[in-house]
């Protein structure tokens, strides 16, 4: 049994409480993932079905089909709660896919630039300068607007600038690790560049990249919602938080919940991811490149 | 200093050339014939044929690209099929509103960010610091379009203090500018915090404190000047993000700037205007980044020496 002085036990309790509160974002994110995966299986929602007799019902009202609408209904009588649940799936799906694409592309490019340096690195730096002459969201608006709306177009539009931060992090880690003794030793032993990169250098990029991926996920989810708020990118048949917020804008006076609910769902998700990303960044450092 | 200016200017020109090329490629790979794309869906066949000859669409792509660069140099992006003006005129008429919005928002962000950053940085690691750090994450996480709508709901529809949208009077500027300031206040606060926290650990601060100056006097007299250097740079470098944010925020408040113009033009496939507007924004960003770089060198002699 350990004896802890009174003043110390207070400190210990405070630290424990802080560590526990650090878990809250992870739990919230887990909840969103669960809703995104399982929610649509439990709640049915058809964006084309518009029971007009149920239009603009307030939260908790009973619909004509006998059910309750916990978050009310929109101007076409569609359930807002169901839209929030289905919107979670859209956001999580686009967020995860885009971050995966950006991660793969960014790490490949960043590692090559950091390892080989020279003209490859210079060309890449210029390319990044050019892409960053545009605000990311502007480039996404133009790309998503030019092509026929689809999920893949959105992912492409968000990936065009999304890979940059990963490439930067990977490049800076590779640049510093490649000068270390064990890398020299491996090189002298005749290990080929590809294996050298994969086995002796890249493992060190994992921590910073995970932290980066978390922050990037938050940015992608925000950007996707922004695009669908502007009515660009996703086909009208899909359900997205940004779209629902935009739909509710005309009815702020009579039915504020249409815009409020999905925006709140979006904010809570992005805040949780941001808090988690901050914890990870503090732990793995380096990743704060923007 | 002069070689630094020249080198940065050349780099800026290269970036703008790349930006123009990128936009050329995007409009080129867009589904549909560029003549249809530029003239819009309702163009007459004779008009189309004329434009095809004018654009030289029957010629090799490299020649077309050369022509495009030449016209871009003369700021000639063709006419908007929708607005009955040249694309560049449309952009120029909308530019002032965007400048008003971004500048106002930049001022709000810097003031609020410095305040928050000072509160956090002066006692790094304290409870106050942690609260501000968490607050910056929250501020940065809110989707601006939603914050804008919630501000409309409360201040325009609920309290009836401010107009919901448009740009009839100065009061119309308040809600869009505040909305746009949310994420940028957070960015400025973070930079100011780390600048101030770093400076607070410097020996000259210890000296000032041991002379008996209060922390507030040390902050305003010694620390803030140094912390302002990274803040200046970050404002210059983040102007791109600020303009990107403005594109979204303008559409929430029907603010008659470049952002609403771009989204309208993308929606109507008015690519002459899209090209003119995106390249104008790119040019502004490149120019301001350049200024931020040079200002940084001017403010911090160590940078000048290093380059």
Integer Cα distance of B290 and B152 in angstroms: 36
Q: Whole-angstrom Cα distance, residue A151 to residue B87?
A: 31
Best mean pLDDT range from A60-64, A82-86, A143-147, B174-178: B174-178
Confidence at residue B114, expressed as pLDDT on a 0 to 100 scale? 92
pLDDT of A254 over the 80 cut = yes
Residues of B with CB below 8 A from A132's CB?
Answer: 240
- Is a pLDDT exceeding 70 seen at residue A18? no
Q: What digits encode the pLDDT tens for the residues A140-155?
A: 999 988 888 888 999 9
Q: Which of B265, B234, B237, B260 is nearest to B249 (CA)?
A: B260
Look at residue B252 in the predicted model and tell me its pLDDT.
Answer: 92
Cβ separation of B149 and A259 shorter than 8 Å?
Answer: yes
The residue-averaged pLDDT of B265-291 equals: 88
Longest C-alpha distance within chain A, in Å?
A: 77
Structural Rg of chain B based on CA atoms: 24
What is the pLDDT, as a whole number, of residue B56? Answer: 67
Lowest mean pLDDT: which of A43-52, A236-245, B114-123, B143-152? A43-52
> Is residue B155 within 8 Å of B175, Cβ to Cβ?
yes
Q: With a CB-CB cutoff of 8 Å, which residues 214-253 of chain B face chain A?
A: 240-241, 243-245, 247-248, 251-252
Q: Tokens for A262, please give them.
A: 């999905």
Question: Can you read off the two tokens belonging to residue A178?
Answer: 């490649």
What is the structure's pLDDT at B87? 86
pLDDT tops 60 at residue B306: no
The pLDDT value given to residue A8: 62
What share of chain A has pLDDT > 70, as a percent? 90
Q: How far apart are CA B24 and CA A64, in angstroms?
A: 53
Alpha carbons A160 and B157: distance in angstroms, whole number: 39
What are the φ and ψ backbone dihedral angles of A61, each rounded to 5 degrees? Answer: -75, 155
Q: Which is it for the CA torsion B206, B211, B212, B214, positive or negative?
A: negative
To the nearest whole Å, the CA of B191 is away from the closest chain A CA by: 11
Res. A180: pLDDT tops 90 = no
Lowest mean pLDDT among A145-149, B51-55, B252-256: B51-55
Residue B129 to residue B120: CA distance in whole angstroms: 4
What token pair was written down for A42? 């439990």
More confident residue, B205 or B298: B205
Contact B141 A218 (CB under 8 A): yes
- Which among B172, B186, B185, B188 has a CA at the least distance from the CA of B257? B172
| Bigger pLDDT: B285 vs B170 | B285
Task: Report the gap between the CA of B45 and the closest CA in chain A (Å).
Answer: 22
Check pLDDT > 90 for residue A41: no
For residue B136 the two structure tokens come to: 């910056």
pLDDT of A288:
40
The answer to whether B182 and A285 are in contact (CB under 8 A) is no
* A221: closest chain B residue by CA: B143
Portion of chain B with pLDDT greater than 90, in percent: 35
> Helix, strand, coil: what percent of chain A each, to 5?
75, 0, 25
The whole-number pLDDT of residue A251 equals: 85
Summarize the confidence of residues A124-137 as an average pLDDT.
Answer: 88
For the whole model, what pTM was predicted? 0.86
The packing angle between helices A24-42 and A80-116, to 10°, is: 120
pLDDT value of residue B67:
82
Q: Render pLDDT for B166-206 as a digit per residue (tens, 0 to 9).
A: 777 788 888 999 999 999 999 999 999 988 888 888 888 88
Number of cross-chain residue pairs from A and B with Cβ atoms under 8 Å apart: 143
- The ipTM estimated for the assembled molecules is 0.85
Most trustworthy range by pLDDT among A113-117, B38-42, B51-55, B292-296: A113-117
Residue A73: beta bridge partners? A79
- Where does the pLDDT of residue A20 fall: very low under 50, low under 70, confident under 90, or very high at 90 and above? low
**Mean per-residue pLDDT over chain A, rounded:** 84
Which residue in chain B has the smallest CA separation from A222?
A: B143
Among A15, A129, A133, A258, most B C-beta atoms within 10 A, so best to mutate, is A133
* Residue B156 clears pLDDT 80, i.e. is over it: yes
Question: Token pair for residue B91?
Answer: 């952009």
**B204 Cβ under 8 Å from any chain A Cβ:** no
What's the whole-number mean pLDDT along residues A35-53? 78
Instruction: Name the most confidently modeled range: A65-74, A199-208, B22-31, B96-105.
Output: B96-105
- Tell me whether residues A232 and B267 touch, CB distance under 8 A: yes
A63-72, A169-178, B226-235: the lowest-pLDDT one: A63-72
Contact A274 B137 (CB under 8 A): yes
Question: What average pLDDT does the structure give for chain B?
Answer: 85
List of residues 6+ apart from B83 with CB closer than 8 A: B90, B270, B273
Average pLDDT (B285-306) is 77
The shortest C-alpha distance from A49 to chain B (Å) reads 26
pLDDT value at position A2? Answer: 52
- Contact flag B30-A147 (C-beta cutoff 8 Å): yes
pLDDT at A166: 92
pLDDT at A175: 86
């Amino acid at each position: 049994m350990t004896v802890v002085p009174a003043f110390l036990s207070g400190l210990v309790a405070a630290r424990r409480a802080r560590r526990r509160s650090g878990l809250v974002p992870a739990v919230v994110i887990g909840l969103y993932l669960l809703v995104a995966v399982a929610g649509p299986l439990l709640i049915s929602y058809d964006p084309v079905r518009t029971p007009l007799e149920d239009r603009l019902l307030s939260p908790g009202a009973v619909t004509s089909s006998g059910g309750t609408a916990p978050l009310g209904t929109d101007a076409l009588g569609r359930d807002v709660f169901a839209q929030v649940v289905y919107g979670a799936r859209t956001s999580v799906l686009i967020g995860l896919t885009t971050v995966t694409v950006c991660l793969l592309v960014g790490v490949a490019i960043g590692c090559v630039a950091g390892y080989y340096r020279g003209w490859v690195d210079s060309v890449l730096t210029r390319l990044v300068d050019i892409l960053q002459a545009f605000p990311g969201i502007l480039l996404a608006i133009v790309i998503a607007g030019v092509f026929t709306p689809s999920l893949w177009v959105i992912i492409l539009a968000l990936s065009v600038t999304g890979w940059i931060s990963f490439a930067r992090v990977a490049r800076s880690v590779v640049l510093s690790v490649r000068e270390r003794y064990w890398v020299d030793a491996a090189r002298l032993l005749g290990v080929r560049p590809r294996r050298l990169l994969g086995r002796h250098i890249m493992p060190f990029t994992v921590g910073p990249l995970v932290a980066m991926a978390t922050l990037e996920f938050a940015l992608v989810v925000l950007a996707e919602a922004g695009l669908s708020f502007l009515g660009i990118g996703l086909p009208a048949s899909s359900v997205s938080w940004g779209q629902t917020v935009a739909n509710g804008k005309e009815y702020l006076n009579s039915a504020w919940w249409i815009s409020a609910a999905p925006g709140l769902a979006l904010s809570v998700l992005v805040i949780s991811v941001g808090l988690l990303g901050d914890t990870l960044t503090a732990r793995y450092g380096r990743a704060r490149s923007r | 200093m002069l070689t630094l200016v020249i080198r940065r200017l050349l780099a800026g020109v290269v970036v703008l050339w790349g930006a123009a090329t990128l936009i050329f490629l995007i409009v080129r790979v867009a589904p549909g014939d560029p003549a249809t794309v530029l003239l819009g869906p309702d163009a007459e066949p004779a008009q189309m044929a004329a434009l095809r000859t004018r654009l030289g669409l029957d010629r090799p792509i490299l020649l077309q690209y050369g022509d495009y660069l030449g016209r871009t140099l003369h700021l000639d992006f063709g006419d908007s099929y929708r607005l009955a003006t040249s694309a560049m005129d449309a952009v120029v008429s909308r530019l002032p509103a965007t400048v008003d919005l971004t500048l106002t928002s930049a001022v709000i962000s810097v003031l609020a960010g410095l305040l928050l950053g000072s509160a956090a940085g002066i006692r790094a690691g304290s409870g106050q610091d942690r609260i501000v750090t968490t607050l910056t994450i929250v501020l940065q996480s809110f989707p601006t379009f939603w914050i804008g709508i919630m501000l409309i709901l409360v201040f325009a529809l609920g309290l009836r203090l401010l107009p919901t949208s448009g740009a009839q009077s100065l009061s119309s500027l308040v809600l869009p500018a505040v909305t746009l300031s949310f994420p940028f206040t957070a960015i400025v606060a973070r930079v100011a915090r780390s600048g101030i926290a770093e400076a607070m650990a410097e020996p000259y601060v210890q000296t000032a404190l041991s002379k008996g100056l209060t922390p507030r006097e040390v902050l305003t007299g010694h620390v803030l000047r140094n912390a302002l250097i990274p803040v200046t740079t970050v404002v210059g470098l983040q102007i791109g993000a600020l303009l990107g944010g403005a594109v979204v925020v303008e559409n929430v408040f029907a603010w008659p700037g470049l952002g609403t113009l771009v989204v309208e033009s993308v929606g109507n496939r008015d690519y002459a205007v899209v090209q003119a507007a995106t390249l104008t924004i790119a040019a502004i960003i490149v120019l301001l980044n350049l200024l931020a770089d040079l200002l940084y060198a001017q403010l911090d002699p160590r940078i000048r020496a290093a380059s």
